[in-house]
A = this chain, B = another copy of it.
Amino acid sequence: MGSEGSYTALGLKVWKAQVDRADKLFGTLSSEQVLQEIAPGRNRLLYLWGHLTAIHDAMLPLLGMGKRLYPELDVAFVINPDKSQTVTPSHEEIRRAWITVNGELSKGFENMSPSDWLQRHSAVSEEEFGTDPSRNRFSILLSRTNHLSYHLGQAVLGLK
């Protein structure tokens, strides 16, 4: 492994640091706290947590790690806004899905070589990838890390 490994190791380190922050932030909330809004009339913490879980779940097929584990999360946490559904997954279901999905990603990351990260992700065709090779797996890692940071910045506002 040449110096390429240094860049991907850094990408993974920053990813892991944000997932750890999210674990601490969401993982310690009571079932009352998780229903608090981040600001008056805005998303509840549970919605953000479910949203992040769904987006991370969708990384599995994007990175060639198999099928999604919880595609049903999209209705409650991606396609529709918070407080629009009569029935949504419970706090406990989200907690378990969050842990499972990030564990699967972590296992998959261990098996990826630096050059694997430069392969196309599954949402881009071979033809499109030929035109723009930056649409690769490493770009998914970096953009999803930033997506997580974006919502962590919001979630901390709901803590008190």
Q: Which residues of A contact B (CB under 8 A)?
A: 2-4, 6-11, 13-14, 18, 38-40, 42, 114-115, 117-118, 133-134, 136, 138-139, 142-143, 145-147, 149-154, 157
Contact = CB atoms under 8 A, between A and B. Distances in A.
Contacts of A147: 149
A115 to B, nearest CB: 7
Contact of A154 (B3, B14, B139, B153): B153
A138 B3 CA distance: 12
A14 B143 contact: yes
Contact of A9 (B42, B134, B149): B134
Given A38-B157, A39-B40, A39-B157, 14 more contacts: A2-B4, A3-B4, A3-B118, A4-B7, A7-B118, A7-B138, A9-B134, A10-B138, A14-B139, A18-B146, A40-B40, A150-B152, A154-B157, A157-B157
A153 B148 CA distance: 10
A11 B142 contact: yes
Contacts of A142: 10-11, 14, 142, 145
Nearest to A117: B7
Nearest to A115: B3
A50 to B, nearest CB: 16
A8 B3 CA distance: 12
A4 B4 CA distance: 5
A149 B146 CA distance: 6
B10 A157 contact: no
Contacts of A149: 146-147, 149-150, 153
